[in-house]
């Protein structure tokens, strides 16, 4: 038996080539807010609901350029954010107004079961999934 259980995702870390552009995107487009900055380390921590998204400037003192699989260009496939309400048309309009690159909308499986989701991409090409509530 495990001596612990996972409750939720605490944070995700994304390496950013253009830290200011990434902060603007996650705050202006997705509604995160800056919670903590340690610019001398190249770190900006954004509040995303109950979780954090940590942005680390590529080449910063705490950047680990060798993280991820050998030979891989990225160290993350995508970040999934559970959102409420999930109105696909309103989400698409909001994201289109902010010049976000939109991906596929579909019914996908997540932590709460199957439900609607929409893919989009941040300024550096990282895929983000906005996940709605589970099907009734």
CA distance 109 to 116: 9
CA distance 53 to 11: 5
Boundaries of every domain in the chain: 1-60, 77-136
Q: Are 74 and 126 in contact (CB under 8 A)?
A: yes
Q: What is the pTM of this model?
A: 0.82
Q: What is the pLDDT of residue 67?
A: 59
Res 101: pLDDT = 86
CATH of domain 77-136: 3.10.180.10
The per-residue pLDDT for 71 is: 52
Cβ neighbours for 49, distance < 8 A, ≥ 6 positions apart: 81, 82
Predicted pLDDT of residue 88: 92
How distant, in Å, are the alpha carbons of 7, 18, 35, 39, 65 from that of 61?
31, 15, 20, 10, 11
Per-residue pLDDT of the chain (136 residues; tens, 9 = 90+): 866 687 889 899 999 999 999 999 999 999 999 999 999 999 999 999 999 999 999 889 988 766 555 555 666 778 999 999 999 999 999 998 887 788 888 999 998 999 999 999 999 888 899 999 999 8
| Domain 1-60, architecture per CATH | Roll (3.10)
Reduced to 3 states (helix: H, G, I; strand: E, B; else coil), residue 131 is strand
1-60 and 77-136 have identical folds: yes
């Amino acid at each position: 038996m495990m001596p612990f259980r996972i409750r939720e995702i605490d944070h995700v870390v994304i390496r950013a080539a253009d830290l200011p552009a990434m902060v603007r995107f996650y705050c202006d487009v997705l509604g995160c807010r800056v919670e903590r900055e340690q610019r001398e380390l190249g770190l900006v921590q954004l509040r995303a609901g109950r979780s954090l998204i940590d942005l680390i400037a590529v080449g910063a003192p705490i950047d680990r350029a060798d993280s991820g699989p050998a030979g891989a260009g990225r160290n993350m496939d995508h970040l999934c954010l559970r959102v409420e309400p999930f109105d696909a048309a309103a989400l698409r309009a909001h994201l289109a107004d902010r010049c976000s690159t939109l991906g596929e909308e579909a019914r996908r499986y997540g932590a709460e079961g199957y439900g609607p989701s929409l893919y989009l991409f941040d300024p550096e090409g990282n895929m983000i999934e906005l996940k709605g509530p589970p099907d009734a």
